[in-house]
Structure 1
């Protein structure tokens, strides 16, 4: 779509999908993309490319930035939603689901939110890294199937609400995206802070490994007015108060990160909600299914963090979806068959926090 802007008016376009699961028509007043943050590396020496084009002396490398695709619906709400994906993913996480239904991008556009979808530094369309890395071709689809609580390969969990057909499974596996440089939470957070400098006030929605840099972004940017975290893997605790690492059968232990008390207190100033799906064992005893135990220990860490933040005056809710009536959700609740119900729950939280105000109200 092409958008022509003038001082008098903005040409509106209507977004219509051709899928059998097509969203309701949404009138867009703007869409586009931009790059935010990052660094510049300069090779030693003087640039002499006019005579030695293969000599990179003095040349620059722009990298470690975020890529952002945004859409703004007509009569948009005041607060934008900024979406940050998790490990092995890209902004595709929030787009069309593996079986062709609307993802959170379209669902929240329908709800009149401005949406900003991010590819984090060294991933996807932000793949220009300032550090070298080799990309593995190791087969690991089944590892993620198990770890994301879809089931234990090749079997699906009995109550799972994830699409089970072969075509959807193929689409899901193909969405995995490699790192083009070492994952660095601080690099991601710096780029995300630059995203919010561009966007202005908004709510940050993170998924999984996006949770760690999400907390750092909320600490660094006053533009973050709330955080919605979907199954984050780590949390920021004050120095000297990080809980010990819990025993687990999982190869992925749950570790908190340490921040200064001043930074921790910044987290207490904004509303935060954390959601976890189904099939997560509760308690302090490890279970044999490592894929489920991965999330037992993360749930326990989340509850410890919730108690501590709220003890210091914060506003954190850690929610188990089955406890509020949503059953069978996987680690990818934004792609599950009931993703609209999950989005409605999030919408209700945004309303409760006063973060759904209209620009025109």
Structure 2
């Protein structure tokens, strides 16, 4: 007993020593790497500085969410490109999740046609490189769309043509002050409907009422001459990256959905059937909430891949971080070390934040005591 008690404090100290050794080794490696970089830059007459961020950016940014004018600083151009990246990643995650859930449920359906179509689509998408799909969408699909006067109408005030997708957008005004209230109302309705406190018909009516209430203050695209004016233009470059990344990642999410739902105990289905629940009630009220606990860790990896995959927008000249910063600004300034260090920091930071959010969600869904 005395030997065990005497040896017990040694294990924590050994783990601490190993961690400390790892930190010291990493610090030494980074110091050695920084010293070599500094020496190489000094030999070429260069110095490490971020002063170039204040210089004017001489290239226009075709798609931007933040206000942009030609000649603004490199630092602001980086901010515009970063917002473009975040926006593209967010809408790609939403679309990929919805498509992945649909394809996964189709794979599990008893309909051979739906299951076979889902399987064929998943295998085709997963085995074709993502870059190839993006370029094909951009050149082989979006560039062959009709001109503006022959636009494809996808919905009320939504038009698709060779210039991109024109959609209505809320105008800056009083409506923006109540948008947070509307968003919170929608989230409250969704949460209540999920808990079966609000019928689906009432939820749909409430959402439709909110939509038409704000539609009056929207800026709609209008065809004038050979083009559209007003609204918001989603460029073909954005559409190619958005659709390409979403479809590609949705194939992997579909397999995650299929495998996690298959892992739910068969008795849960039998219990739901014994209560007289219909298929959609059984799936969305019993099976999916349990499968979601197992979905989140692999979904986190796919969402991180979405953020990194947005860099492929540089292949079709979409103005995201790599296209604007690692190509245009690097060519203008020659600050390759500083620029690549900033890009590395940006993507590491974005992925760490997203992983932290997903981990927090995962901890919230954990069953206490397991």
Identify the structure with the greater strand proportion. 1
Q: Per the shorter chain, which TM-score range? A: under 0.3
Identify the structure with the greater helix proportion. 2
TM-score, normalising length: structure 1: 0.22
